[in-house]
Amino acid sequence: MTAITVHDELINRFIRYPGAIASRLRIVRLRLLGVRIGRRCWIRRIHVPRNPWDILIADGVALDDYVVLLTTGSRANAPRLVIEGGSYVNRFTMFDASESIEMGRNCLVGPFCYITDHDHGIDAARSIAEQPLVSSPVRIGSRVWIGAGVMILKGVTIGNDAVIGAGAVVTRPVRSGEKVAGVPAQPLGLRVTANTARRTDR
């Protein structure tokens, strides 16, 4: 390692050190409020507006600045919002759960995404604001990549290893390994693994 590289690494560690302390203090505060947080998590300046007991964050999760974890409704026996181990959520992304949102392990979520399990009733006889929420659980598998600015709406299931293109609005199920993009999101094909490519070449 060169002297310049060592110098740069020391500077980066010096920059990160206060953030690491702040992250630990945030985790302590959130745990005291009732959020279930695993080990080795990295929590930036996130926002939990209400119902902290409805949230489960597993080991090794990283939540970047201004991520919003919003849950509504009376206290339930199980958490409404679950983010499994090793997943990373980028800045300004919002989870909005009234029934259940679950995201699997080792997912990557881009900035400015919105993931919700509900919307409003639209009965013409009453104003929308007066109508109850209509909800359906959202399930996101493991190792899913969700690009910047994606919206995932109620009732959607996304299989393992799927890729959601930036700006997509997902209103239908996404198969394991499937790539989708667009408004509404449409299939672009399946991801090709090295093993799949070798079989295709034969």
CATH code of 139's domain:
2.160.10.10
pLDDT tens profile 134-175: 999 999 999 999 999 999 999 999 999 999 999 999 999 999
Q: How many domains does the chain divide into?
A: 1
Long-range CB contacts (< 8 A, 24+ apart) of 37-40?
Answer: 37/61, 38/85
**Can you give the pLDDT at residue 139?**
98
**C-alpha distances out from residue 127 to 46, 163, 192, Å:** 33, 37, 48
**Can you give the pLDDT at residue 190?**
93
- Cα separation of 23 and 62, whole Å? 10
Active site residues: 120
Residue 159 belongs to what domain range?
3-201
Q: Is the pLDDT of residue 118 over 70?
A: yes
Please state whether the peptide bond connecting residue 111 to the residue before it is cis, i.e. omega within 30 degrees of 0.
no
For residues 156 and 116, the answer to whether their CB atoms sit within 8 Å is no
State pTM to two decimals: 0.86
Backbone angles phi, psi at 146, to 5 degrees: -115, 115
Numbers of helices and strands, H then E, in the chain: 2, 21
- Bridge pairing between strands 169-170 and 151-152: parallel
pLDDT tens profile 55-112: 999 999 999 999 999 999 888 889 999 999 999 999 999 999 999 999 999 999 999 9
